[in-house]
Amino acid sequence: MLESVKIFDTTLRDGEQSPGASLNTGEKLRLAKQLANLKVDIIEAGFAASSPGDFDAVNRVAKEIEGPVIASLARANENDIKAAAKAIEPAKKKRIHTFIATSPVHVQKKLRMSYDEVLKKAVESVKLAKSYTEDVEFSPEDATRTEKEYLVDIVSAVIEAGATTVNIPDTVGYTTPQEFFELISYLRENVKNIDNAIISVHCHNDLGMATANSLSAVLAGARQVECTLNGLGERAGNAALEEIVMALKTRHDFYHIDTGVDAKQIYRSSRLASQLTGILIQRNKAIVGKNAFAHEAGIHQDGVIKERTTYEIMKSEDIGLPGNKLILGKHSGRRGLINRLSELGFENLEPETLESVFARFKVLADKKKEVTDEDLYALVASQSKTVPEVFKLVSLQVVSGNSSMPTATVKLERRGETFIDAAQGNGPVDAAYKAIERIVNIKGRLEDYQIKSVGEGKDAMGMVHVKVYFSDTDKAILGMGTHTDIVQASAIAFLDSINKNLFYINAR
């Protein structure tokens, strides 16, 4: 019987800590549903004790997501563990993941505790977590810079206290593949009760070795890997889920280890994470980047035409990119659109969402010769709102040029009532934002603005991500908009952030 590795996805917790990323409860729930479709084994839904918003998100995921184990992170203290236990209580399968730092620099400089005090705190925390759920994970933070003998002591003690998973984190991305292999092997040889727990690893990418270190640990006997979609996470990020899964799948001849992940959901999951966090995927990103299955060099093109495996070790279909090239355009009907959406993994869209996507598809098809898969991903993303759309953009007219002051006239709708105003700005986008602010009577400070071309060509749609800080809620909120007119996409994105801010105000 082949062995398997559990995939512990921490996109909703560690991934959300990526600089610039922030997810509201609705967005977390939407991504969690996709992670369930991806069939990850464990979803770390958040850090319940960190804020009321994070508690609510963990609790909603625990209530509504079936399939994976739902976990919450908790520091090694009573308040954190009780908050985690309460948040995950509705889940059919639940886990508390508690941690405390163990390296000399953390123990002495951050915690200012003795090693005996840290060990005692770890044991007490595992025992407390165990009183709420049988499934308890413990992490000695900064394990790869911890003295080996002490690491053996604390791992032995927490397993004795009831930990069913022991995670060995490379918290600052310090280790190397050979070194990490030796560390996991050392623990397996010297922790006498190691067979009573699953060894997990959580690697950061500060030196670009997170995936390599994780796979090296698997070879040494680790049977859970903690990772994130697109490698999101603190600083340089975490080991990328798609890289771990496809490495084990593609090199099954070497690893002889399976995962339960549905790899055909990888591309859709990756794109959804990018759209919700506003963090774009680099073109040459392994597995899911735009160039991952592209060939420009003549020698490569010639080889692939003659035999695909000359230069491709994976098929695009393996990660959920359909191989057929059914062209969608202005003459395509509802059936053709539904068929293509189904091939892309969107089989269960709500009827109203499907109607809205179809209506926008027909408008887009009138402007473009061909509607691409990237266009369809963007259309579905733009129609899947996680908060009520209080203000809607009805129309936008902009006058701009090198001999005139940029001016925007905006018409918005709110509950059937329309509002019109105009403003001047340093450019057409600035003018549109000022006109919108005049109507909604809310001012926000634009902290980040990104434009991405969806597809190729002069008629490509533009996708705009903004991060706007609102002083009334003290939040920096992400907004997203798509349109063939980049100024209109910018206005939609700005309105998206405003609607989310209004939702937070009403929720207080």
Domains in the chain: boundaries: 3-277, 289-321, 324-383, 392-507
For residues 67-72, average pLDDT: 98
What CATH architecture is 3-277?
Alpha-Beta Barrel (3.20)
The answer to whether 491 and 410 are in contact (CB under 8 A) is: yes
What are the tens digits of pLDDT across the range 109-152? 999 999 999 999 999 999 999 999 999 999 999 999 999 999 99
Domains 3-277 and 392-507 share a fold: no
Cα–Cα distance measured from residue 227 to residue 480, given in angstroms and rounded to the nearest whole number: 25
pTM for the model: 0.85
- The full DSSP string for 264-284 is GGHHHHHHHHHHHH--PPPTT
Query: 392-507 in CATH: which number?
Result: 3.30.160.270
Under DSSP, the state recorded for 285 is: -
Nearest to 138 by CA among 102, 192, 176: 102
Give 167's strand partners.
200
Cα–Cα distance measured from residue 232 to residue 21, given in angstroms and rounded to the nearest whole number: 9
> In this structure, what are the phi and psi dihedrals at residue 100, rounded to the nearest 5 degrees?
-155, 145
Cα–Cα distance measured from residue 400 to residue 497, given in angstroms and rounded to the nearest whole number: 25
Cα–Cα distance measured from residue 288 to residue 148, given in angstroms and rounded to the nearest whole number: 37
CB within 8 A of 447, min separation 6: which ones? 467, 468, 469, 476
Cα–Cα distance measured from residue 361 to residue 352, given in angstroms and rounded to the nearest whole number: 14
Cα–Cα distance measured from residue 302 to residue 107, given in angstroms and rounded to the nearest whole number: 58
- For the chain, give the mean pLDDT: 90
Nearest to 227 by CA among 28, 6, 435, 376: 6
The answer to whether 349 and 33 are in contact (CB under 8 A) is: no
**What are the start-end ranges of the E strands in 188-231?**
198-203, 224-227
pLDDT of residue 242 exceeding 90, the answer is: yes
Please report the pLDDT score of residue 28 as a whole number: 94
pLDDT of residue 66 exceeding 80, the answer is: yes
CB within 8 A of 39, min separation 6: which ones? 67, 68, 260, 261, 262, 265
Q: How far is CA 34 from the centre of its chain?
A: 10
Q: What is the 3-state secondary structure (H, E, C) of 429-465?
A: HHHHHHHHHHHHCCCCEEEEEEEEEECCCCCCEEEEE
Nearest to 457 by CA among 353, 362, 335, 368: 368
What are the tens digits of pLDDT across the range 341-359? 777 777 777 787 788 888 8
At residue 326 the predicted structure's pLDDT band, cuts being 50, 70 and 90, is: low
Give 467's strand partners.
448, 478
Please report the pLDDT score of residue 300 as a whole number: 46
Nearest to 498 by CA among 465, 462, 470, 464: 470
The answer to whether 99 and 139 are in contact (CB under 8 A) is: yes
Please report the pLDDT score of residue 54 as a whole number: 93
